[in-house]
Amino acid sequence: MQQSSPIVEWLVRKFGMGVARLIYKLTTHGADRLPEGGFLLLPNHLTWVDALVLQTACPRPIRFIIYEDYYRDRRLAPLLRLIGALPISETRAKDTVRAAVELIRRGEVVCIFPEGELSRSGTLLRLKRGYEIIARQAKCPVVPVWMDQLWGSIFSYRGGRYFWKWPRNFRYPVTVAFGDPLPAKAADIGALRQRFLELGEFCYTARGHLRGNLAAQCVRGLKKHPGDIAVVDGTDGSELTRGKLLAAGLALAQLIRAQVPEQRVGVVLPSSKGAVLANLAVLLAGKIPVNFNFTAGRAALEASITRAGVRCCITAGAVQEKLKEFPWPSRVVRLDELVPRLKGAATKWFLLSRLLPASWLMRIASVPQKGDRAEAFLLFTSGSSGEPKGVALSHRNLLANTHQFGEMLNLGRHDIVLGALPFFHSFGATVCLLFPLVEGVKVVTYPNPLETSKCAALIARHGVTLVLATPTFLRGYLKRAEPAQLRTVRLIVTGAEKLPDELADAFKARFGIEVMQGYGLTETSPAASFNLPSPPEVAQPGNRRGSCGKLVPGLAARIHHPESGEPLSLHETGMLWLKGANVFEGYLGDSERTAEVIRDGWFRTGDLARFDEDGFLIIEGRMSRFSKIGGEMVPHETVEAKIVESLVLSGEGERIVAITSVPDEAKGEALVILSTREIDVTALRETLSVAGLPNLWIPKRVRRVEKIPILASGKLDIQGCRKLAESGN
């Protein structure tokens, strides 16, 4: 391998670093922790200029290992030879490994990109094991390093192409974080992936925009393309442009600020144009929207209203008339009566918003511009496995998650979201309400996601491109929608509960759309991971059947033993812990529950999970959906899937079985099948046994029910299922 002159190398590096500093505003962390001798440097790989950025951040010269195809490219070869790069290929890997080991032993820094290729999705790819050979032969420290915010620059593939796009910033902000050195023996791919995720989380939480205010971001988002339609109300077809929505929101915010002294303001409205306006106005007033689940029981609602300290609710006359059992607070504001009186003020704000820059407009309107860790939104969990808990999401949480979602999906102003999920559900609040306001995406609202025939008609009429749903709602589309109605849909993301393979297959067969499963919790604002269509023309899978996809940018993960709490490899099954800017900091007024789930900034999700070698998250089930029988953990969802398969229920339009448990004196718990059909339990037990299900996992009891309990969010009502099973004893 030809070596260049040290002086020439120095000059070339200095020139390249000077160019990099002109293009990028570089922030470096952890360079003081780099070992003094030789070591192996392992970075993530997002752009064509990663090596240049990395060399600029590193205080020592770096020898890069480069694939031979690039090394021999006549445009790149002269430069790569000048900096002493090492070519590698399948046929001459041993020579390169030998040379790299020798350089490290001489005290030099050698760098190899463990992904082996540029990411076409912005997510971390499968880590190749070649670096392990170099590290173990050299017996050297391994240093992971993360380069943040390069995804989206003109040298990355974001938007489906390299180079041919406008730069978003001049002197593009980039953060480079060097991790603590790992001993060669400990630096396996599971440990390295975990370190990468943790470094990515460290960098992401330092991003400046997270210190901002959600209301201010809504103003900036709505001021862009003010003539574009912001929201279409699916019930009556009425529309609001982004400019008019902002003006109406500022007018209503003035009234709220003047007449509502409390910080939290209740919103009791179905997904609609009015609900979008009400939530926006509360935010612009510097207050906290609390969207109440009006489908919940009176006792749960009373407890939520009391805990939130809400004394004023925004609703509509028709909604108040319909919800006679709702425990309304002392003051109720009817939006339909108020909005007509705001026309004069809205006109004033419309003119000002068109004339003034965002910063001046916000100053005049008293819109707060700093939020960071202050509470921005209060949501109550669905209560699927117990009493609803108040989840106080901060400005930082929600700004992070809207940007994380947008960074992965890369939606544009011509995309249209179906906003049929309720805003009291975290997915509905973030993706159907806040994301369109901040990112400039049009939303078509509809109050009831179970009315899938009407939702399908709206998709067809407005050319919806993104649909968010749950498996329960997808079953409705199978029964009531025509394939032609969904022809404009580019992406369907499902969450809340596991997507059954038989449902995904039936949906693909009928509509030609591959459903992308995601994962999230109210406590993660909510999006934590999701599958995406694979990038074209490269072998980089964007989705994996049975998985929940890859983690959103800036979210770190650990796996711990569910009982002992012992750390495990990411590739082992255990309790999933998460950490990131989108993860909440605690339950409202409940320090005891908060202490149970938050440990040193890490959130214990209550889900059993693992990661495969490509980084796809596989959820094995919720702890609340496991039963401990005879000392063994039995997963309800696995048993359900086997029953569906055994009874040949593929393609059914509704959920017809659910597994729950009841106390059992002999073995602790006993499984119970809830079914909307008659089931011959003896025949089923024989079939499940032949299918290889362990005898301990095979239910002995069946309870016939009219309907499987489902929450308004589309989740299985675990508490309701348990009560039904117990009532049949």
The pLDDT tens digits for 295-348 are 877 888 888 898 889 999 999 999 998 998 889 998 999 998 888 888 889 999
Residue scoring higher pLDDT (24 or 50) = 50
Percent of the chain residues topping a pLDDT of 90: 41
**Contact yes or no for 545/516 (Cβ under 8 A):** no
From-to residues of CATH 2.30.38.10 in the chain: 531-623
Which CATH architecture best describes the domain 531-623? Roll (2.30)
- Say which range, 64-78, 261-275, 320-334, 369-383, has the weakest mean pLDDT: 64-78
CATH 3.40.50.300 fits 211-228+240-411+423-436, yes or no: no
Q: Which of 294, 332, 290 is nearest to 309 (CA)?
A: 290
Residue-wise pLDDT tens digits, 170-182: 667 888 999 999 9
User: 3-state DSSP helix/strand/coil percent for the chain, to nearest 5?
Assistant: 40, 25, 40
Q: Which two tokens stand for residue 574?
A: 């255990």
From-to residues of CATH 3.40.50.12780 in the chain: 211-228+240-411+423-436
Q: Would you call 82 helix, strand, or coil by DSSP? A: helix
The predicted structure's pLDDT at residue 66: 75
Distance, CA of 339 to CA of 681 (rounded, Å): 59
The beta strands (E) that lie in 268-425 are given as 288-291, 312-315, 331-334, 375-380, 390-394, 416-419
User: What is the per-residue DSSP string for 152-168?
Assistant: TBTTS-TTSSSS-S--S
Q: Would you call 52 helix, strand, or coil by DSSP? A: helix
Q: Would you call 656 helix, strand, or coil by DSSP? A: coil
CA atoms within 13 A on the CB side of 474: 32
Question: Measured between alpha carbons, how far is residue 185 from residues 112, 133, 136, 443 in Å?
Answer: 17, 10, 7, 51
Amino acid code (one letter) for 660: T
**Contact yes or no for 372/393 (Cβ under 8 A):** no
Residue scoring higher pLDDT (365 or 654) = 365
Residue-wise pLDDT tens digits, 563-585: 788 999 999 988 899 999 999 99
The predicted structure's pLDDT at residue 269: 94
Q: Mean pLDDT, the chain, as a whole number?
A: 84
Distance, CA of 198 to CA of 362 (rounded, Å): 36
Q: Which two tokens stand for residue 14?
A: 């200095």
The predicted structure's pLDDT at residue 361: 94
CATH code assigned to 630-727: 3.30.300.30
Over residues 582-597, mean pLDDT: 89
From-to residues of CATH 3.30.300.30 in the chain: 630-727
Q: Is the pLDDT of residue 8 over 60?
A: no
Over residues 596-618, mean pLDDT: 90
- Say which range, 66-70, 217-221, 378-382, has the weakest mean pLDDT: 66-70
**Contact yes or no for 111/63 (Cβ under 8 A):** yes
Q: Which two tokens stand for residue 208?
A: 């400046």
Percent of the chain residues topping a pLDDT of 70: 86
Distance, CA of 516 to CA of 541 (rounded, Å): 13
The predicted structure's pLDDT at residue 416: 92
Q: Look at phi and psi of residue 10 and say left if phi exceeds 0, alpha if psi is from -120 to 50, else beta.
A: alpha
Over residues 109-114, mean pLDDT: 90
The beta strands (E) that lie in 470-597 are given as 491-494, 516-520, 527-530, 550-551, 555-560, 567-568, 574-580
Q: Which two tokens stand for residue 419?
A: 């906003």
Distance, CA of 654 to CA of 657 (rounded, Å): 9
Helices (H), 328-386: 335-338, 343-355, 358-364
**What is the number of helices (H) and of strands (E) in the chain?**
25, 33
The predicted structure's pLDDT at residue 71: 54
The predicted structure's pLDDT at residue 65: 83
Distance, CA of 553 to CA of 201 (rounded, Å): 8
**Contact yes or no for 419/658 (Cβ under 8 A):** no
What's the predicted TM-score (pTM) here?
0.84
- Say which range, 58-67, 253-262, 574-583, has the weakest mean pLDDT: 58-67
Q: Would you call 418 helix, strand, or coil by DSSP? A: strand
| 88: confidence class by pLDDT, cuts 50, 70, 90 | low
Q: At what angle do helices 636-646 and 681-690 cross, to 10 degrees?
A: 100
The predicted structure's pLDDT at residue 149: 83
Distance, CA of 252 to CA of 178 (rounded, Å): 48
For tokens 């602790």, the residue is 668
Maximum alpha-carbon separation in the chain = 85
Distance, CA of 419 to CA of 280 (rounded, Å): 15
Strand order in the sheet with 288-291: 331-334, 312-315, 264-267, 288-291, 375-380, 390-394
The predicted structure's pLDDT at residue 12: 53
Name the burial class of residue 237, with classes exposed (0-12), middle (13-18) and buried (19+) by CB atoms within 10 angstroms of its CB.
exposed
Q: Is the pLDDT of residue 20 over 80?
A: no
Residue-wise pLDDT tens digits, 492-547: 998 877 888 888 888 899 999 999 999 988 899 999 999 988 877 677 888 899 89
Distance, CA of 292 to CA of 685 (rounded, Å): 43
Over residues 34-43, mean pLDDT: 92
Question: Measured between alpha carbons, how far is residue 385 from residues 35, 529, 663 in Å?
Answer: 49, 22, 16
User: H-helix or E-strand containing 423?
Assistant: none
From-to residues of CATH 3.40.1130.10 in the chain: 6-188
β-bridge partners, 617: 611
| 401: confidence class by pLDDT, cuts 50, 70, 90 | very high
CATH T-level fold of 6-188 = Glycerol-3-phosphate (1)-acyltransferase (3.40.1130)
Distance, CA of 401 to CA of 551 (rounded, Å): 12
Q: Is the pLDDT of residue 373 over 90?
A: yes
Q: Which of 246, 236, 227, 252 is nearest to 437 (CA)?
A: 246
Distance, CA of 212 to CA of 368 (rounded, Å): 9
Distance, CA of 528 to CA of 356 (rounded, Å): 37
The predicted structure's pLDDT at residue 511: 93
User: What is the per-residue DSSP string for 189-217?
Assistant: HHHHHHHHHHHHHHHHHT-GGGGB-HHHH
